[in-house]
Amino acid sequence: MRRSTGGRLLLVLLTTCTAVGATVTVAAAAATGCRVDYTVASQWGGGFTTNVQVTNLGDPVTAWRLAFAFRADERVTQGWNATVSQSSTQVTAANASYNGSLATGAATSFGFQASVSGTHTPPASFALNGTTCTGASVPTGGPTATTPPTTAPTTAPPAGGWNPPANLVTALNQVWQHEESTYSDLYGFRNYGWDQIMANRGYVNYCVRWDSSARVTTAQRDAIHAALRRQFKKWMDVMAGHNGWPYSDVAVNIVGWAVRERAQLEWTDDSVDIYVNDIREDAPQCSAPCGRFFNQSGSYPNCPGGAAHHYDQSLWLTAGFGGGAGGDWGQRVGSEYFLGAVNQDDIHIFLHEVGHTFGLDDFYDWSPDVGGFLMKAGSATQITEFDRWMLRDWWRHLKSRYGY
C-alpha cells in the first residue's frame, strides 16, 4: 500500500509544494477604453489560476477579445467564461456566448489555468478589441500582499459530463483540493497512466520485472498475464462511456519479461521480449531505452524492436515483498502475493497500486467521510463507488490536455 519512493506516489513527484495564494492587481493609469483587473487566484509549483475582470470604459460592445502576452513559459491549459487561446506567448481571450455584451462601465470576468516552470508574473498590458487598456482609476496600488488561502486552490473545469452522486460531491472536492495542494506538479506532470494510454491511442504495454530467484512456468506466466489484464480492466471499465473517455476497452499488452537468469523462465516461445540481468534498483528491468519512464517524449529510437516493443509500465514482482508501491512507472507487489492471488477476483493491493498510476492518492493522514474505499489502504478490498468517482475526477481535470 506504500506509495513509491519519497512518500509521494509518483517517482518524479518527490517534493511537496504548499499552495500559496497571491493576489496581484494590474491596472493602467489613464482614463479611456478599458480596465483589466488581473488576479492570480491560486498558485502552486508548476501552475496557477487567474480571475480576470474586464471593464469596458468605452462605447458599448457586443463582443470582445482581450489580448495580452505572457512573460515566461506559461501555457494555458483551460479557460472558463471565455475561449482562451495561445500562440507562443500571445494569449487571446474571446467572450463566451453569454458575456459578449458590455455596456459602458460594465464589467465581466473570466479565468484560466496555466502551467509555468517558475513564478508567474502578470502580463504588463492588455488590449481590448485591439485597443490598449490604459484604464481609469487604479483600485489598488500595484501588487498586494500575499495571503495564503484557507483552503487549497480549486480550478473550475468544464462541467459537462460530470455527474457524481450528490452524496459524494463534497468528498470528491475535498480530495481534489488536497491533491492540488500537496502534489508538486499536479497539472504539469505528463506521465500519468492517462498520458500513456492517450499517447498509445488506447492501449498500455507492460514489462514484468521478475525480482525473484524462483522459476516461472509457462502456465504461471500466462496466469500472471491474464490476472494483470483482468485487474487493469476493472479500472478501465470505470471509464468506459464516461464523460468523453474515448476507449471502450484498453488493451493490456505484456511485451517483455526481465529476469536475472534466462533459465528461470521455462518457456521457449518468443511471445515476449526477454531481458536478462539488466539490473536497476537491485532488480531486473526491461531495457531502459524501451521504457516510457525513461523516454517520456514517447519515442524509442534505441529500443531493440522499435516503439512496438516499448513498455509504459512495469509489473514489478519481488520475492518477500509486503505491501505495494505504485506510480507512473508501474506497480510493485510481492511475487508470492501476486501468484497466490492470481485467480482471485480482486488482487486488491495490486488494484490499489494501479490507482496510483492514474494519479489517485493515499489516505494515511486524512480521509473524507465516505466509509471504506480501496485507495484508503486496509479499508476495502475492491474498487468502490468512491474510488470510481475519484478516477473519473482525474479524467475530468486532465482531459482538456488531450483535446477533450
Instruction: Give residues in contact with Zn ion (CB under 5 A).
Output: 1, 3, 362
- Cβ closer to Zn ion: 328 or 362? 362
Distance in angstroms between the alpha carbons of the first and the last residue of the chain = 32
- Please state, in angstroms and as integers, the Cα–Cα distance from residue 237 to each residue in 308, 343, 384, following that order: 25, 19, 13
Report, in Å, the least distance between residue 255 CB and Zn ion: 26
- Cβ closer to Zn ion: 1 or 13? 1
Report, in Å, the least distance between residue 270 CB and Zn ion: 36
Contacts of 273 (CB under 8 A, 6+ apart): 255, 256, 257, 286, 290, 304, 305, 309
Report, in Å, the least distance between residue 362 CB and Zn ion: 4
Q: Which helix (H) or strand (E) holds 95?
A: strand 90-95
- Cβ closer to Zn ion: 116 or 383? 383
User: Which of 267, 284, 263 has the alpha carbon at shortest distance from 275?
Assistant: 284
Contacts of 2 (CB under 8 A, 6+ apart): 323, 324, 325
Rg of the chain (C-alpha set): 25
Which residue's CB atom is positioned nearest to Zn ion?
362
Burial class (CB in 10 A: 0-12, 13-18, 19+), 367: middle
* Residue 168 near residue 36 (C-beta atoms within 8 A): no
Report, in Å, the least distance between residue 211 CB and Zn ion: 19
Burial class (CB in 10 A: 0-12, 13-18, 19+), 333: buried
Report, in Å, the least distance between residue 35 CB and Zn ion: 49
Report, in Å, the least distance between residue 349 CB and Zn ion: 9
Instruction: Give the residue ranges of DSSP H helices in 99-239.
Output: 166-182, 193-200, 218-239
Cell match 464516461: residue? Answer: 242
Report, in Å, the least distance between residue 5 CB and Zn ion: 13
- Cβ closer to Zn ion: 180 or 362? 362
Report, in Å, the least distance between residue 3 CB and Zn ion: 5
- Cβ closer to Zn ion: 195 or 362? 362
Phi, psi of 290 (to 5 degrees): -100, -5
- Cβ closer to Zn ion: 1 or 66? 1
One-letter identity of residue 54: V
- Cβ closer to Zn ion: 225 or 352? 352
Q: What DSSP designation does 293 have?
A: G
Q: Which helix (H) or strand (E) holds 50?
A: strand 47-56
- Cβ closer to Zn ion: 91 or 375? 375
